[in-house]
Amino acid sequence: MTIAIKKRAIGAILAGAAGIFCPLLSLAAIPIQQWAQPGGARVYLIESPAIAMVDVQLDFDAGSRRVAAAQAGLAGATASLLSKGVAARGNEPALDENALGEAWADLGAQFGASAGTDRFSFSLRSLTESDLLDQAMRLAARQVAEPAFPDHIWQRDRQRLVAQLKEAHTRPAYLAGRAFAAAVYGDHPYGHETTEASLGRISVADMRAFHAAYITPCHARVSIVGALNRVQADALVTGLLARLPQVDCAAAPPLPAVAEVLPLERAQALNIPFDSAQAHVLMGQPGYKRNDPDFFALTLGNYVLGGGGFVSRLTQEVREKRGLSYSVSSYFSPGRHAGAFTVGLQTRPDQAAQATAVAQQVLAKFVAEGPTEAELKAAKGYLIGGFPLLIDSNGKLLGNLANIAWNDLPLDYLDTWTARIAKVSVTDVRAAFARKLQPEKMVTVILGSVPASAGDATPGTKP
């Protein structure tokens, strides 16, 4: 690589570290272009020409929800090994993890893979100068389509993952979270737990099969933000996916359906003994899908309930008035399926029952009555005022664009976001919470509490 290219590469790394800001986009419409390629990939583009860089995210329907409980952890392990080497092909030699790292550093580009509950993602950041972008595209295409899956690396990494799991089982927050997820999701893949046994059932052959089944152009959604026009972006996507098997998407069988998360039929209380200075409390149930029309009402309502920090009702009632917890919050985790609604807090073990009871009362009252007009007005002011900070860099803009692409949201979603927040009424919030939450049927996990007789609760004393 020439000295000139190396200098541009260093500049790219520094630009990536500093963030690429696009303040004009927060003040005007954000035009999103969308099209489908002949190979099946759906492409979403926001042109951002201020700096000669591009950010790309490729999403595939290959998250952990596609993995059986017996092999929980397969999607994440597959993503991890994609950075550990590419196979030889034709005149192109194999590259191990060190060679790959050096190649990306020389280009001043960044590339990675990750797996969540719903999707398997690749991310690329590169300068758009033709020589660098072409090299970055070709190298990324090799990693996407031709991973080596070295077995000796997997044997090493599996031992590391097992050690991490053993350490996690010493942490009360992890144990409470696992018990909560199992109770809320039941047999749904969202509740599957990666264990030493499930990791032991995963081989590199399983990774190759998983990759071949799900990483295909037919199921790709590609989000792009940067200094490329539509023609250039389309060529980039074509190059990134060119090494994958090209099939007739119309003739290809659809991916297997994944069952929905079932609603809870009754309340469930789990009191888990654990020797800890703090009791960990989690309370909740399945919530809603990300494309639910109630999203805006639920977002505003949750800010008032427990998402707004010190101004939220839960903080006021549990912490400020009674001193039962240093922090308490609530949040929704929507996905392709109904992700959990969760109330979480930590408190002294002898105060756990009281803190839980207060949180339950606050939640039940909020679901029944909704916010006040003043609370809703304040929530709108905060969320609308903070909206420009959600799109003030290409990286943040890419995350929002990928959210639109993955969840089939309207292309004017960002342009209409503040207007849709502004028009939500108290009645809308109350109706949305009534549709989604049933306080009488929630899971409650208390890990580390003690019987009331074992200690004296002292309201007004912070832990």
Instruction: Reply yes or no on whether the pLDDT at 317 is more than 90.
Output: yes
Residue 258 in domain: no
Report whether 191 contacts 8 (CB < 8 A). no
Q: What is the pLDDT of residues 47-63, one digit of tens each?
A: 999 999 999 999 999 99
Domain identity same for 116 and 232: yes
Task: Give pTM, 2 decimals.
Answer: 0.91
Any domain includes 246? no
Quick one: 349 and 202 in the same domain? Answer: no
Domain termination site, one of 224, 241, 258:
241
Task: Kindly state whether residues 306 and 413 are assigned to the same domain.
Answer: yes
**CATH assignment at residue 365:** 3.30.830.10
Predicted confidence (pLDDT) per residue in 154-199, tens digit? 999 999 999 999 999 999 999 999 999 999 999 999 999 999 999 9
Q: What is the pLDDT of residue 454?
A: 40
Last residue in a domain, options 241, 257, 292: 241
In 3-state terms, what secondary structure has residue 305?
helix
Read off the pLDDT of each residue in 209-219 and give the average, rounded to a whole number.
96
pLDDT the model gives residue 450: 64
Coil/strand/helix, residue 36? strand
Mean per-residue pLDDT, 297-318: 97
Number of domains in the chain: 2
Alpha-carbon span 209 to 436, nearest angstrom: 38
pLDDT of 29 = 84
* Residue at 254 is within a domain: no
pLDDT > 80? residue 12: no
Residue 25 is predicted with a pLDDT of 45
Question: Phi first, then psi: what are they for 122, rounded to 5°?
Answer: -120, 140
Q: Do 229 and 319 reside in the same domain of the chain?
A: no
Q: How far apart are CA 274 and CA 176, in angstroms?
A: 10
Residue at 263 is within a domain: no
| Choice between 12 and 339, residue whose per-residue pLDDT is larger | 339
Q: Residue 10 — pLDDT band, cuts 50, 70, 90?
A: low
Residue 453 has what pLDDT?
Answer: 45
In sequence order, the β-bridge partners of residue 281 are 345, 446
Q: What percent of the chain has pLDDT over 90?
A: 89
Domain that holds residue 310: 268-454
**Within this chain, do residues 143 and 203 fall inside the same structural domain, yes or no?**
yes
In this structure, the answer to whether residues 15 and 53 fall within a common structural domain is: yes
Helix, strand, coil percent content, the chain, rounded in steps of 5:
50, 15, 35
Identify the CA nearest to 62 among candidates 240, 250, 209, 252: 209
Question: Is 369 among the domain residues?
Answer: yes
Q: pLDDT at position 359, please?
A: 98
Rg (CA), the chain: 24
Q: Please tell me the distance from the alpha carbon of residue 206 to that of residue 117, in angstroms, as a whole number.
A: 18
Are 205 and 278 part of one and the same domain?
no
pLDDT exceeds 70 at position 203: yes
Q: 183, 206, 241: which is the final residue of a domain?
A: 241
Whether residue 251 is contained in a domain is answered as no
- 382, with CB counted inside 10 A (0-12, 13-18, 19+), is middle
Tell me, yes or no, whether 260 lies in a domain.
no
Same-domain check for residues 173 and 314: no
Residues 318 and 227 in one domain: no
Tokens of 103: 């190649």
- Same domain membership, residue 324 and residue 208: no
Is there a single domain that holds both residue 227 and residue 294?
no
For residue 331, what pLDDT is reported? 98
Residues 354 and 425 in one domain: yes
Extended strands (E) in 289-442: 328-332, 340-347
Q: What is the pLDDT of residues 219-250, one digit of tens each?
A: 999 999 999 999 999 999 999 999 999 989 98
The answer as to whether 249 is a domain residue is no
The 8-class DSSP code of residue 201 comes to T
pLDDT per position as a tens digit, 408-458: 999 999 999 999 999 999 999 999 999 999 999 999 999 997 655 443 333
